[in-house]
Amino acid sequence: MARLVLFGPGYTGSRLASSLQRDGWQVDAISRHTPNDIARAALGQATHVLSTVPPGDNGDPILPAYGDALRKAPWIGYLSSTGVYGDTKGAWVDESAALGGRRDGRIAADQAWAAIGARVFRLPGIYGPGRAMLERLKAGQAHRIDLPGQVFCRIHVDDIIGGVRAAIERGPAGVYNLADDRPAPQNDLVEYGCGLLGLAVPPLRTLDQLDLSPQARAFYSENRRVANEKAKRLLGWRPLYPSYREGLAALV
């Protein structure tokens, strides 16, 4: 029986677990509250290991604790972030691009998992049921921001699941960008979402006019387009939602 040890059963991990369990997989979900001996016992029987746990202040928390045991699994995966590319001023980046920017801990974790032969999936902003622009629009929390030329990539949670499952079935170990096909300004999502919901489009404002958190301001300080051709070529993966339009319309 295929058996996945899943570190971090959060939003994406839980949906992946449900997808695999429907196909007869056994999934052992390991959280921060799981005793060490139980986690190690599960790893001793794992055919696949995946971590969705982001690095903390002290770096990646999983490899130092379980690296010796999880290395024995035939298949290892890790969910990373396209934030490791930093700000590219809107230029396209693929998996061969240099890493940099403000995420030293994320870069170190990304490289550490790649070094042990994991499939490292670099992800942009994740959206899906209950976690999308639509919820912020309904709550009156979405903004249009005056940042000409700035674009972002994003990925529907079900397309992450599709990419991970494709990498389980075929393709070598390595780094894969899982992103949609159409990088777009955040304002486009706001305007399209308002059209879907029949809401008025919020006014255009500058960053200084909004009370944004430091994390949100940092998000808007970066501008990049992420290429996904490697995952398509080596994994046979294709996004179900190639742009925000298909993804948001399906959520409505």
What string of pLDDT tens digits covers the 252 residues of the chain? 899 999 999 999 999 999 999 999 999 999 999 999 999 999 999 999 999 999 988 789 999 999 999 999 999 999 999 999 999 999 999 999 999 877 789 999 999 999 999 999 999 999 999 999 999 999 999 989 998 889 999 999 999 999 999 999 999 999 999 999 999 999 999 999 999 999 999 999 998 888 878 777 877 889 999 999 999 999 999 999 999 999 999 999
- The domain defined by 74-251 carries CATH number 3.30.390.10: no
pLDDT of 101: 78
List phi, psi (to 5°) of 90: 90, -5
Question: What integer pLDDT is reported at residue 92 of this predicted model?
Answer: 97
Burial of 123: CB neighbours in 10 Å, binned 0-12, 13-18, 19+: buried
A 10 A CB-CB count for 156 gives 26
pLDDT at position 57: 80
| pLDDT at residue 58, as a whole number | 79
User: How far is the CA of 190 from the CAs of 51, 114, 213, 233, in angstroms?
Assistant: 32, 36, 19, 32
pLDDT at 235: 98
What secondary structure letter does DSSP report for 151? Answer: -
Q: For position 216, what pLDDT does the model report?
A: 77
pLDDT at 1: 82
- Amino acid (1-letter code) at residue 138: K
The answer to whether 56 and 65 have CB atoms below 8 angstroms apart is no
